[in-house]
Amino acid sequence: MTDFCKLVNMPENDKQGLSVVTCTAPVNIAVIKYWGKRDEDLILPINSSLSVTLHQDQLKTTTTVACSRNFQQDRIWLNGKEEDINNPRLQSCLQEIRRFSRKRRNTGDSTSDASSVSHKVHICSVNNFPTAAGLASSASGYACLVYTLSQLFGVESEQLSAVARQGSGSACRSLYGGFVQWKLGTQLDGKDSLAEQVESESYWPELRVLILVVSAEQKSVGSTSGMHTSVETSQLLKYRADVVVPSRMEEMIRVIRERDFPAFGELTMKDSNQFHAICLDTYPPIFYLNNMSHRIISLVHRYNQYYGETRVAYTFDAGPNAVIYTLQDHLPEFVQVVRHFFPPEVNGEEFVKGLTVCSADLSEELKRDINMEPTPKGIRYIISTKAGPGPCVVKDPNHHLLGADGLPKKSAISH
Amino acid sequence: MTDFCKLVNMPENDKQGLSVVTCTAPVNIAVIKYWGKRDEDLILPINSSLSVTLHQDQLKTTTTVACSRNFQQDRIWLNGKEEDINNPRLQSCLQEIRRFSRKRRNTGDSTSDASSVSHKVHICSVNNFPTAAGLASSASGYACLVYTLSQLFGVESEQLSAVARQGSGSACRSLYGGFVQWKLGTQLDGKDSLAEQVESESYWPELRVLILVVSAEQKSVGSTSGMHTSVETSQLLKYRADVVVPSRMEEMIRVIRERDFPAFGELTMKDSNQFHAICLDTYPPIFYLNNMSHRIISLVHRYNQYYGETRVAYTFDAGPNAVIYTLQDHLPEFVQVVRHFFPPEVNGEEFVKGLTVCSADLSEELKRDINMEPTPKGIRYIISTKAGPGPCVVKDPNHHLLGADGLPKKSAISH
Secondary structure of B94-157 as H, E, C letters: HHHHHHHHHHHHHCCCCCCCCCHHHCEEEEEEEECCCHHHCCCHHHHHHHHHHHHHHHHHCCCH
Closest in B266, B276, B290 to A280, CB measured:
B276
End-to-end alpha carbon distance in chain A: 31
pLDDT digits (tens, 9 = 90+) for A68-93: 999 999 999 999 899 999 999 999 99
Contact with chain A for residue B260, Cβ under 8 A: no
Omega cis (within 30) before A284: yes
**Are B153 and B98 a contacting pair, CB within 8 Å?**
yes
Q: Which of B218, B230, B273, B341 to mutate: most A Cβ within 10 Å?
A: B273
Contact with chain B for residue A294, Cβ under 8 A: yes
Summarize the confidence of residues A297-308 as an average pLDDT: 98
Predicted local confidence at residue B137, as pLDDT: 78
Q: Does the pLDDT of residue B305 top 60, yes or no?
A: yes
3-state secondary structure of A34: coil
Q: Does the pLDDT of residue A288 top 90, yes or no?
A: yes
Distance in angstroms (rounded) separating the CA atoms of residues B209 and B307: 20
Mean pLDDT of chain A: 91
pLDDT category at A358 given cuts 50, 70, 90 is very high
Among A106-110, B90-94, B201-205, name the one with the lowest average pLDDT: A106-110
Query: Considering only CB atoms, which chain A residues are within 8 Å of B235?
Result: 243-244, 274
- DSSP labels, A292-319: HHHHHHHHHHHHHHHHTS--EEEEE-SS
Q: Which residue of B has its CA nearest to A219?
A: B372
Closest of B236, B341, B302 to residue A279, by C-alpha: B236
Contact with chain B for residue A284, Cβ under 8 A: yes
Q: Where do the domains of chain B lie, and which CATH numbers do they carry?
A: 12-201+390-413 (3.30.230.10), 207-386 (3.30.70.890)
Contact with chain B for residue A239, Cβ under 8 A: yes
Q: B44-77: b or e for each residue (b if 16 or more CB lie within 10 Å)?
A: bbbbbbbbbbbbbebbbbbbbbbbbeebeebbbb
Query: Considering only CB atoms, which chain A residues are within 8 Å of B270?
Result: 283
Query: Considering only CB atoms, which chain B residues are within 8 Å of A243?
Result: 235, 239
Parallel, antiparallel, or unpaired: how do β-strands B379-386 and B352-354 relate?
parallel
Closest of A224, A267, A214, A4 to residue A136, by C-alpha: A224
Q: Does the pLDDT of residue B107 top 90, yes or no?
A: no
pLDDT category at B118 given cuts 50, 70, 90 is confident
Q: Which of A268, A271, A276, A291 to mutate: most B Cβ within 10 Å?
A: A291
Q: Does the pLDDT of residue B12 top 70, yes or no?
A: no
pLDDT digits (tens, 9 = 90+) for B306-318: 999 999 999 999 9
**Are B176 and B208 a contacting pair, CB within 8 Å?**
no
Contact with chain B for residue A235, Cβ under 8 A: yes
Distance in angstroms (rounded) separating the CA atoms of residues B305 and A77: 37
Query: Considering only CB atoms, which chain A residues are within 8 Å of B289?
Result: 287
Predicted local confidence at residue B2, as pLDDT: 38
Q: Which of A129-138, A164-173, B218-227, B344-353 has the highest mean pLDDT?
A: A164-173
pLDDT digits (tens, 9 = 90+) for B35-66: 999 999 999 999 999 999 999 999 999 999 99
Summarize the confidence of residues A315-322 as an average pLDDT: 94
Q: Which of A322-331, B152-161, B221-230, B341-350 has the highest mean pLDDT?
A: A322-331
- Inspect the interface and report whether the beta carbons of A235 and B217 lie closer than 8 Å: no
**Are B388 and B57 a contacting pair, CB within 8 Å?**
yes
User: How close is the nearest chain A Cα to the Cα of B218, in Å?
Assistant: 10
- Inspect the interface and report whether the beta carbons of B290 and A285 lie closer than 8 Å: no
Q: What percentage of chain A carries pLDDT values higher than 90?
A: 82
- Inspect the interface and report whether the beta carbons of B290 and A287 lie closer than 8 Å: no
pLDDT digits (tens, 9 = 90+) for A364-392: 999 999 999 999 999 999 999 999 999 99
Predicted local confidence at residue A352, as pLDDT: 96
- Inspect the interface and report whether the beta carbons of B283 and A273 lie closer than 8 Å: yes
Q: Which of A215, A281, A282, A310 to mutate: most B Cβ within 10 Å?
A: A281
Residue B242: count other Cβ atoms within 10 Å of its Cβ: 11
Predicted local confidence at residue B7, as pLDDT: 38
Query: Considering only CB atoms, which chain B residues are within 8 Å of A301?
Result: 284
pLDDT category at A132 given cuts 50, 70, 90 is low
Supply the ipTM of this predicted assembly. 0.91
Which residues, at least 6 apart from A266, have a Cβ–Cβ distance to it below 8 Å?
A310, A313, B283
Q: Does the pLDDT of residue A215 top 90, yes or no?
A: no
pLDDT digits (tens, 9 = 90+) for A186-203: 999 999 999 999 999 999
